[in-house]
Structure 1
């Protein structure tokens, strides 16, 4: 590969300050690992923006990382990332064929690759869905497979949170599978071991390792992931302030140093943590799906002002199309300009992929090849739009 020596040198040099930083400021504890085979591909779970550095600290040897396209699209910073690391680009909310081809190309050249197999950080602490396409990727890669687990990151930097907490993070290799071993396995068997090695529920892990994660304003921005009130069933009426999370109906809970709920109102409350609540709101939508389909044809399920719709050219700056109010109906997503002069309508049946990055930035692709981003000037749910899109189009939300 052209300039490979440069990328390896940068990787080796930057590893030193990042190792010091994550050990000291993140209390990161890890087991060093020297791979037995090369080239290799590392698949890891994903809980924080610094996961790539923590994997790189633990595993000896240079790796190219798979990164979301919005990272390399961010002005000077994006150019710097390309210059120093040359990541493999993955488009959020779009097909991954070009990403898979690039992974194969780099492995064929003898270089190593690391990918966060869920494609997204966890919102509720549970490892996300791992596509069977990963089993196909590994089976056809002619490389060894290393599975790497990260724990504690969900509590230190919850994806939905405004502020980081203080507390430990952990990283370790679960297994290494040689090329010979992988050749003897089917694609389904490979997918199965990836899922088993990387599956974790942060709250179940915490029961066995009860670390405190102290911080300020622990509930801030929780409404980006939890958007249905368990008491009155209102949608998008929950708000966070400090450590408190409440609804306009009077329901209120406090979130503590273990990221668990403490009821503050007299209402009965069955949810211990974010995961429990999130699973309930998924079930609530599925159980009431027909009502969502019929009752929200002419009125929006979700409505938020201060939204900017951009058309994305991969690796280039986004082109602003419209800014104003976003509304989700049972069959369409609309962006209406503040002066009502312009409206962009996207029928859900025409949307082929939908994703959320960071807390609430929405990415989606359309069947005609369009690729779009919706940014928000206000705190609002992105998970809600994603969840409803998937259920309303008869897809599961995993």
Structure 2
């Protein structure tokens, strides 16, 4: 199959029905609104992004098979590429200009497809919608087709990006048409961007305060240190440790409990939610980066050339300095990258850091389940920004 030829409805219905039966073991779905029932393709579905299952969640309650715009590295996994090609997925390089994505989206429109897009560009880490990528509004303006905003509520608490395993709970999904073709044509790109931002915004824990759902799992706090790596009490970096429903600092013994409702509890707790803690942490990093800590972790480094499958380059350690990242293997092999030469630095899943260098795609897989790939991303991005500012002022 391809973008031009969509999977037959019976194949789509068979596969999604099987997946639905599997998901219902842990998840109760509630569709609170579904405007797609009254729209004929082609049209565009945009959605907030909180969970690995999001594309399937969205397509479960849409009659047509959706042609999703998907991250480019996924197409470099041979088996997954076959699945994506079969469904007519559209390749997109995150945080890089890619005219082929636009061409293929237009092709999907011309062949009467429903196009799916997550305008945040990434799954969020703490239950609050990330900023919408501005180029999404340009694509909406270019396509000139109806747009439906899907909103997933409960997806973060069912399977937070930092966690392992699903929690049993409830997910609410709504599909609200926000524009017809004529309405899109009459709007500016700025107006489209503002409406997309408003339509997709969701704060999971504000919603949860009203709902009070329980999300039951075996070890609900595992692995919060992937997201929250700065202690709010002693401000040490990399000292947080999760154990069942407990999250504590190994340096000063600050401790909280992570509840089935997704809130922090405990007499010493400074924050009610992971989002509040994360918000404080990002501000604290602005000071920490002035004297960055020594960072080292165990990783495997891969490289993909010309969109071919990844090849392993080395296993060893990764080290971060002021302007470089160095990979060192036990056999003495080393590879160093200057931060200002690394493009489109991004995270896939929770443990894979990717970046482009000289048009080659590199993937760094962190070995320890407690490693914070998110910490590495935040530190790299801040150091890159510092280098850019120095260059502009010199």
Please report how far the alpha carbon of residue 7 of structure 1 lies from its aligned counterpart in structure 2 after TM superposition.
4.8
* The one of 304, 307, 312 aligned to 1:312: 304
Partner SS for 1:171: strand
Matching residue of 2:239: 237
Partner SS for 1:163: coil
Partner SS for 1:310: strand
> Following the alignment from structure 2 to structure 1, what is the Cα–Cα distance between the partners of residues 307 and 37?
34
> Following the alignment from structure 2 to structure 1, what is the Cα–Cα distance between the partners of residues 244 and 131?
31
Q: Which moved more, 1:93-102 or 1:230-239?
A: 93-102
Partner SS for 2:169: coil
Give the TM-score normalised by structure 1.
0.89
Please report how far the alpha carbon of residue 364 of structure 1 lies from its aligned counterpart in structure 2 after TM superposition.
1.0
8 Å contact 2:125–2:160 — kept in the other structure? yes
> Following the alignment from structure 1 to structure 2, what is the Cα–Cα distance between the partners of residues 69 and 352?
14
- Is it true that 1:262 corresponds to 2:254 in the alignment? no
Query: Which residues in structure 2 correspond to 1:122-141 (within 5 Å)?
Result: 122-141=124-143
Matching residue of 1:34: 37
1:261/1:205 Cα in 2 relative to 1: closer, same or farther (>3 Å)? same
> Following the alignment from structure 1 to structure 2, what is the Cα–Cα distance between the partners of residues 288 and 20?
47
Partner SS for 1:232: coil
Matching residue of 2:101: 99
> Following the alignment from structure 1 to structure 2, what is the Cα–Cα distance between the partners of residues 314 and 56?
31
Please report how far the alpha carbon of residue 67 of structure 1 lies from its aligned counterpart in structure 2 after TM superposition.
2.1
Query: Which residues in structure 2 correspond to 1:294-305 (within 5 Å)?
Result: 300=294, 302-305=295-298
CA displacement, residues 301-336 of structure 1 (integer Å, 9 cap, x when unaligned): x2112x011112465320111211011222111111
* The one of 219, 222, 243 aligned to 1:220: 222
> Following the alignment from structure 1 to structure 2, what is the Cα–Cα distance between the partners of residues 123 and 386?
13
Partner SS for 2:70: strand
> Following the alignment from structure 1 to structure 2, what is the Cα–Cα distance between the partners of residues 223 and 180?
47
> Following the alignment from structure 1 to structure 2, what is the Cα–Cα distance between the partners of residues 346 and 312?
16
- Is it true that 1:274 corresponds to 2:274 in the alignment? yes
Return 5+ residue gaps in structure 2 as ranges.
387-394
> Following the alignment from structure 1 to structure 2, what is the Cα–Cα distance between the partners of residues 280 and 112?
39
8 Å contact 1:150–1:171 — kept in the other structure? yes
8 Å contact 2:289–2:379 — kept in the other structure? no
1:82/1:7 Cα in 2 relative to 1: closer, same or farther (>3 Å)? farther
* The one of 27, 49, 52 aligned to 1:49: 52
- Is it true that 1:342 corresponds to 2:345 in the alignment? no
Please report how far the alpha carbon of residue 102 of structure 1 lies from its aligned counterpart in structure 2 after TM superposition.
1.6
> Following the alignment from structure 1 to structure 2, what is the Cα–Cα distance between the partners of residues 200 and 3?
34
CA displacement, residues 346-374 of structure 1 (integer Å, 9 cap, x when unaligned): 111111211111112101113x2121100
> Following the alignment from structure 1 to structure 2, what is the Cα–Cα distance between the partners of residues 257 and 79?
38
Give the TM-score normalised by structure 2.
0.90
- Is it true that 1:64 corresponds to 2:54 in the alignment? no
8 Å contact 1:356–1:386 — kept in the other structure? yes
Query: Which residues in structure 2 correspond to 1:100-119 (within 5 Å)?
Result: 100-119=102-121
Matching residue of 2:149: 147
> Following the alignment from structure 1 to structure 2, what is the Cα–Cα distance between the partners of residues 96 and 219?
38
1:49/1:5 Cα in 2 relative to 1: closer, same or farther (>3 Å)? closer
Matching residue of 2:389: none
1:335/1:81 Cα in 2 relative to 1: closer, same or farther (>3 Å)? same
1:81/1:184 Cα in 2 relative to 1: closer, same or farther (>3 Å)? closer
> Following the alignment from structure 1 to structure 2, what is the Cα–Cα distance between the partners of residues 184 and 5?
30
Please report how far the alpha carbon of residue 79 of structure 1 lies from its aligned counterpart in structure 2 after TM superposition.
2.3
Please report how far the alpha carbon of residue 82 of structure 1 lies from its aligned counterpart in structure 2 after TM superposition.
2.7
Return 5+ residue gaps in structure 1 as ranges.
none
Partner SS for 2:278: helix
> Following the alignment from structure 2 to structure 1, what is the Cα–Cα distance between the partners of residues 379 and 144?
39
Report the aligned-residue RMSD.
2.1
Partner SS for 2:207: helix
> Following the alignment from structure 2 to structure 1, what is the Cα–Cα distance between the partners of residues 122 and 316?
27
Please report how far the alpha carbon of residue 64 of structure 1 lies from its aligned counterpart in structure 2 after TM superposition.
0.8
